[in-house]
Amino acid sequence: MKLGLVQMSVTDVPEHNLSEAVRLTREMAQQGADLVLLPEMFLCPYENSWFRRCAQPERGRIFQTLGEAAAGAGVYLAAGSFPEEDREGRLYNTGYVFDRQGRELARHRKMHLFDIQVEGGQCFRESDTFSPGDTYTVFDTEFGRMGLCICFDIRFPELFSLMVQAGARLVLVPAAFNRTTGPAHWDLVFRQRAVDGQCFTAGAAPARDPAAAYVSYGHSLVVSPWGEVIRRFGTGEQAEVVELDLRQTDAVRKQLPLLSARRTDLYETRWKKD
């Protein structure tokens, strides 16, 4: 499978950002991508004031435009995330996946909200604006089953365990780490979740804008089930096609049978809503 990994600049003009996302989806398709991954919050700056200002109705115009982009390019589109408001007025950090015909395959609402205060570093409270999602997300493609989560979700191995137990071979992560958490943990968590789940992980971040109120770390990447970084971007705008052999998950799981060795007689990760 060929993954189109997109690290795009996010401006304070949402319509421009949307147009760029559509253009880059088309460009990745022309380069042979089967699936395109956009960054977290590609529609607007990563600031609470912008989240409410750019909130979209559920499955509204932005949703329709992204579906049309997938269909027009003939690719699967994991369309990053953007602010979406439900009928009760709750706001979510929401990501959609569309199939090659532009039909909705999956919707993920960020489950773990980014509320941090690092001494001498980053302070942010996503929960001041967003409500948390309440389900994990997997979906099927012609290449096999995949998982989807958003940024801070990657720090919770229990969530990845659920997706892997459900059959995910690749987990897509639109994300926007910052210059405090990024240098410390970006590579580390993507590699560790890949090793934990013996699956591919792919993270797409916005390009870095030093003048922004929230500065993205950048460095979008793809990691193999063995924990090797296959591709890592720099900090600027970048979009490339990365070829993956998802059968590698089977080979790694056979050589190092972590999933079958789990002591479910002593401990278990399960979905409590079932």
The residue annotated as part of the active site, out of 20, 40, 85, 126, is 40
* 151 carries an active-site annotation: yes
Q: What is the CA radius of gyration of the chain?
A: 17
* 27 carries an active-site annotation: no
Alpha carbon 253 to chain centroid, angstroms: 24
| DSSP string of 123-192, one letter each residue | EEEGGGTPPPP---EEEEETTEEEEE--GGGGG-HHHHHHHHHTT-SEEEEE---BTTHHHHHHHHHHHH
Which amino acid is present at 67?
A: G
Q: How many CB atoms lie within 10 A of CB 128?
A: 11
**For residue 198, what are the CA distances in angstroms to 37, 46, 163, 164, 249?**
20, 31, 12, 8, 6
The residue annotated as part of the active site, out of 44, 149, 151, 199, is 151
The residue annotated as part of the active site, out of 44, 85, 110, 126, is 110
Q: Which residues are catalytic?
A: 40, 110, 151
